[in-house]
Amino acid sequence: MQEYIDFFQQNMILSLVWIALFSALFINIVKSLTATYKLITVSEIIRLINRENGVVLDVRSKDEFKKGHIIDAINLSPSEIKSGNFGSIEHQKSIPIIVVCKTGQIAQESASVLAKLGFKRVHLLKNGLLSWNEANIPLVRDKG
């Protein structure tokens, strides 16, 4: 035991970095296990859209949405979702809802809010539209 204590004392910075990394990994695992939404891949989104009439909610800004979005996606801001303004999907709480943003980080909170407000099948695109672009699937661009 004394050897461990000596190691930690002699390598304080290295020890703190390892503790921080382990803590971050542990927190990430706990968050993913307790999430109210399911993290999915691009192929799973395509399956949900084609076979189960899944709806894509894009939570990016209107300008970013116009530059390119998934076909038939609905653009809602995170503030609209928090306020309960869901537009056309308000009464469709049992259909698959796929929440996307640029990287997947901003959409996490919106996905959690949707699940807490009674949407039963909320999904989040892993790594956001970056993974969509990496799969070389085109985006629809608004004209104008």
Summarize pLDDT for 108-125 with one digit per residue, the tens.
999 999 998 889 999 999
All residues at 6 or more sequence positions from 23 whose CB lies less than 8 Å from its CB, including other chains: none
- The amino acid sitting at 63 is D
Domain shared by 65 and 118, yes or no: yes
Distant-in-sequence contacts of 29-32, Cβ < 8 A, 24+ apart: none
For residues 89 and 56, what is the distance between their CA atoms, to the nearest angstrom? 10
Based on the fold, state whether residues 59 and 88 are members of the same structural domain: yes
Shared-domain flag, residues 42 and 94: yes
Reply yes or no on whether the pLDDT at 64 is more than 90.
Answer: yes
How high is the mean pLDDT of the chain?
A: 89
Q: What local confidence, expressed as pLDDT, does residue 1 receive? A: 84
Residue 99 has pLDDT above 80, yes or no: yes
| Shared-domain flag, residues 71 and 24 | no
Give the contacts of 143 (CB within 8 A, at least 6 positions apart): none
- Residue 60 lies in domain: 36-134
pLDDT digits (tens, 9 = 90+) for 28-48: 888 777 778 898 999 999 999
109/67 same-domain check: yes
Query: Contact 126/97 with Cβ under 8 angstroms?
Result: no
- Structure tokens given for 54: 């899944």
Question: Which amino acid is it at 43?
Answer: S
Judge if 52 and 101 occupy the same domain: yes
CA distance 86 to 76: 8
C-alpha closest to that of 107 among 74, 78, 84, 130: 78
Q: pLDDT class for 144, splitting at 50, 70, 90?
A: low
Asked if residue 114 and residue 51 are part of one domain, the reply reads yes
| Domain count for the chain | 2
48 in the same domain as 13? no
